[in-house]
Amino acid sequence: MVQDLLHSSPGLLNFGIFFLMALTFLFVILGFVTYAILAERKVLGFMQGRIGPNHLGGRWGLLQTVADVLKLLVKEDLIPKAADRPMFIIAPVIAFAPSFMVVATIPFTDKLQFADLNVGLLYYLAISGITVIGTLMAAWASNNKYSLLGGMRATAQMVSYEIPLVMSGLGIVLLTGSMNLNDIVAAQEASGWYILWQPIAFVVFFIAAMAELYRVPFDLAEAENELVAGFHTEYSGFRWAMFMLAEYVYMFAMASLMTVLFFGGWLPPFEFLSFIPGAVWFGLKFAVVTYILYWFRATFPRMRPDQLMEFAWKVLLPVALANIFLTALLKELLNIF
């Protein structure tokens, strides 16, 4: 349906439909993120020997994150006197918007996808790079030294880890010959999941993705204990909520992307299991990847910035480059792709 609409002539009706669809999509994601955060808190609680949210909304704390978000939305809007007002206000939006834009290209099943782009992977990586501008703006506009240090770290980290991320993704593009995420999944039906063919790429991609998401052990940008709260030290209320939401949407988007790239998206693991709908398979794989991300958060301490940079440039990048070379060899020799 979306394809037909895209090719029809522009008009008010078209615009209306697109707008409504985007709005629905936004709310679906927001609702999902709300409960995924609850899941994270529950999983963390379970790993840390405590219960987690258990008061609001019954025994499982089902309304806890909803209440948290509402509380943040109605909080007093504070802007520091010395801050650069326009930049301070626009920064969360710039950080927030791309996180939703990237979700548009993720194929949840073979039919359920918002935009079937030929350059889906490239689009994802390019758009997600915009967020760092928001981060840097927030850091600069806050006029706070902690924010600035946090923002600088965030930028350096993002720029450094973007490269191994793209390079490890290239192996898959080489195998498939396409950047279309739909094609990438479809190609895995014949050859098997790419985690089998691209284990090195997966490890590099996973680590770089965690750094991109500012997750533990790479959460230096908001290293609470040394930089107070990093780039969003001065933010509170709904602006802060926007940063946090952006981060979480990215996390789930990245988990979806990893599912698509390495775990065969909506494909069942075995042929005889194909009676179960693709959406279920996607959900299961997605849940596993997300669970690992939660798990990491409960386990690891944080790295030091200089070690982090060294790791990106001296370890991840060479490994990713070697992987591209290996992949090319594999493709040439095996001849099954």
Partner 1 sequence: MIRTEEVLLNVGPQHPSTHGVFRLVLTLDGEVITNAEPVIGYLHRGTEKIAENLQFTQIIPYTDRMDYVSAMTNNYVLVHAVETMMGIEIPERAEYLRVLAMELNRVASHLLWWGTYILDFGATSPLLYAFREREMILNLLNELSGARLTFNYMRVGGVKWDAPEGWLEKVRDFVPYMRKMLDGYHQLVSGNEIFLSRTKNVGTYTKEDALNYSLSGVNLRSTGVKWDLRKDEPYSIYDRFDFDVVTRDGGDAFARYECRLAEIEESLKIIEQAVEQFPEEGPIMAKVPKIIKPPKGEAFVRIEGSRGEIGCYIASDGKKEPYRLKFRRPSFYNLQILPKLLKGQNISNLISILGAIDIVLGEVDG
Q: x/- site string to partner 1, residues 279 to 308, per CB under 8 A?
A: ------------------xxxxxxxxxxx-
66/298 with CB nearer partner 1: 298
Structure tokens at 139: 């850091």
331 burial via Cβ count (<10 Å: 0-12, 13-18, 19+): middle
113/143 with CB nearer partner 1: 143
Please check whether residue 297 is in contact with residue 216, taking contact to mean a CB–CB distance below 8 angstroms.
yes
Q: Does 80 bind partner 1 (CB under 8 A)?
A: no
Work out how close the CB of 302 gets to partner 1 at its nearest, in angstroms, rounded to a whole number: 3
Q: x/- site string to partner 1, residues 127 to 166, per CB under 8 A?
A: ------------------xx--x-----------------
Work out how close the CB of 252 gets to partner 1 at its nearest, in angstroms, rounded to a whole number: 21
DSSP states of 205-226: HHHHHHHHTT-TTS-GGG-HHH
77/226 with CB nearer partner 1: 226
**Residue 231 DSSP one-character state:** G
Structure tokens at 115: 């935009």
26/78 with CB nearer partner 1: 78
274/299 with CB nearer partner 1: 299
Total residues contacting partner 1 by CB under 8 A comes to 28
Omega before 217 within 30 of 0, i.e. cis? yes
Please check whether residue 121 is in contact with residue 258, taking contact to mean a CB–CB distance below 8 angstroms.
no
Please check whether residue 29 is in contact with residue 100, taking contact to mean a CB–CB distance below 8 angstroms.
yes
Work out how close the CB of 65 gets to partner 1 at its nearest, in angstroms, rounded to a whole number: 18
Q: CA 2 to CA 112: how far, in whole Å?
A: 10
Among 49, 59, 81, 332, interactor with partner 1 by CB under 8 A: 49
Q: CA 279 to CA 274: how far, in whole Å?
A: 11
- Name the packing angle between helices 317-334 and 145-176 (round to 10°): 10
Pick from 27, 9, 319: which is nearest to 165 by CA? Answer: 319
304/314 with CB nearer partner 1: 304
| Residue 282: C-alpha distances to residues 260, 273, 286, 289 (Å) | 8, 13, 6, 11
108/231 with CB nearer partner 1: 231
Contact window for partner 1 (CB under 8 A) among 42-50, 279-287, 314-322, 325-333: 42-50
> Between residue 200 and residue 239, which ones bind partner 1 under the rule CB under 8 A?
216-217, 219-220, 223-226, 228
47/101 with CB nearer partner 1: 47
Work out how close the CB of 183 gets to partner 1 at its nearest, in angstroms, rounded to a whole number: 38
Please check whether residue 79 is in contact with residue 89, taking contact to mean a CB–CB distance below 8 angstroms.
yes
Work out how close the CB of 307 gets to partner 1 at its nearest, in angstroms, rounded to a whole number: 6
Q: Does 314 bind partner 1 (CB under 8 A)?
A: no
Q: CA 71 to CA 217: how far, in whole Å?
A: 29
Q: Does 48 bind partner 1 (CB under 8 A)?
A: yes
Write out the residues near partner 1 by the rule CB under 8 A.
Answer: 44, 47-50, 145-146, 149, 216-217, 219-220, 223-226, 228, 297-307
